Amino acid sequence: MIIKKLLLALCSLLAFITPHAQNYPYQSDVLWVTAPDHPNWLYQLNEEAKITVSLFEYGILQDNLEIYYSIGPEMMPSEKTGTAMLKNSQAVISIGTMSQPGFKDCQLKVSLNEKEYKHHIKVGFEPEKLTPYTEFPNDFVSFWKKAKADADECPMKLEKTFAPEYSNDLVDCYLVKLQAYKKGSYVYGYLTLPKKGGKYPVVFSPPGAGIKPMNPLKDLFYAESGFIRFDMEIHGIRPNLDAETYKEVSQAFGNGNNSYLVNGLENRDSYYMKKVYLACLRALDYLTTLPEWDGKNLIVQGGSQGGALALVTAGLDERVTACAANHPALSDMAGYKAGRAGGYPHLFTNYEGMDTPEKLKTLEYYDVVNFAKRINVPVFMTWGYNDNVCPPTTSYIVYNILNCEKEALITPVNEHWISLTARHQILDWIKQNLR
């Protein structure tokens, strides 16, 4: 096991003054700088953790200001509140410790010029020992074997249209409509491939959560680097509709208890994500028919919900040769039952009526941790500690349970994002793991 730890804590200030640092409101006048007393943000169980806090306004170091804080396990109610005074432009706050593996979150706020500014920082306590709450059903393998066989009965009907708006001198792009799961059920995607003739590895990339338009330009560097890439839409909605139309669809089908993420959750056969998981396999069916495919390399890659779907696909389909996932969602979703953070979409805090025996049982067949147990190809993962969307607790649980060749890029300061540099590091890792 190889773990590369990106120790950003020691260079917090440099990271935080980057123009597009997403840990802060864009173009804010106020800059928080927080540094744990362990540079890797990790502690032993029952070891006290402390952080040093500094605050800048307009780039000017502040002093004699009162900082308010609340501390508790991540995504859980706070256990301790208090204040700390900036003296000599610093305040030291004890986060305390934990007797069980996990993360603690220190939430900070300050009032300046009658305006409130917030920040937070999480530190971990032996997170490499975290294990899933979610159990592995005895019939997990047979359930998905039958589901795959049933889905295979659906003919692979295909429509492919050239997309000049996303093509250039090096890359051709096509909008693809693909029948999957059942007759009359479709998904869409953008296929990008090098314009130059030849045989190339394939990268399949399922989407992050939500119902929104797609723009393949942000990942065009894959095709420009000699890869075929397929960015998939999972809802059967044409991805080139205007943003306003997508907003209307999302409002009707993407929020609260009306969300696709909980649609049909009371039964493992009616849950919406069954179609999604099987549609990912249909995408591989299509991609492996491409004459430009090199016949060897079939990589899955994605972030958040897309990271979850990449891991699910790798666990379901033996054709996959490598998997790269950043901060995967849908991971140990029932973890809240263990008194700690569970995975996105945070069913027990964002929705009503989810804590029933039937729904908890369905989750076992769809949780990423149970697919991760079945992956036997190389996996690359990256995640941050300050992420409240896909908390580090659940990313660690997925990584810990992988029983394959694996590598992690841990970026403690990150919330729910990765840098452009990290995105290219993922591609470099994929190149290193080609067959």
| Strand ranges (E), 304-411 | 322-326, 379-383, 406-410
CB atoms within 10 A of CB 26: 8
Return the ∠ at Cα 275 (arms to 270 and 280), rounded to 5°. Answer: 155
- Evaluate whether 223 touches 170 at the Cβ level (below 8 Å): yes
Radius of gyration of the chain (CA): 22
Question: CA nearest 380: which of 293, 296, 303?
Answer: 303
Tokens representing 360 are 């908890």
- Evaluate whether 192 touches 228 at the Cβ level (below 8 Å): yes
Note if 270 is an active site residue: no
In the Cβ-directed half-sphere of 358, how many Cα atoms lie within 13 Å?
Answer: 10
CA pair distance 189, 180, nearest whole angstrom = 12
Tokens representing 126 are 């032996």
> If you ran DSSP here, which 8-state letter would residue 298 be given?
E
> If you ran DSSP here, which 8-state letter would residue 261 be given?
T
In the Cβ-directed half-sphere of 200, how many Cα atoms lie within 13 Å?
Answer: 23
CA pair distance 358, 208, nearest whole angstrom = 26
Through-space distance between the first and last CA atoms of the chain, rounded to whole angstroms:
20
In the set 119, 120, 327, 416, the catalytic residue is 416
Note if 120 is an active site residue: no
In the set 12, 304, 331, 395, the catalytic residue is 304
CB atoms within 10 A of CB 18: 11
Note if 89 is an active site residue: no
**Region at 351 (left for phi over 0; alpha for psi -120 to 50; beta for the rest):** beta
In the set 105, 172, 332, 387, the catalytic residue is 387
CA pair distance 214, 14, nearest whole angstrom = 32
Return the active site residues.
304, 387, 416
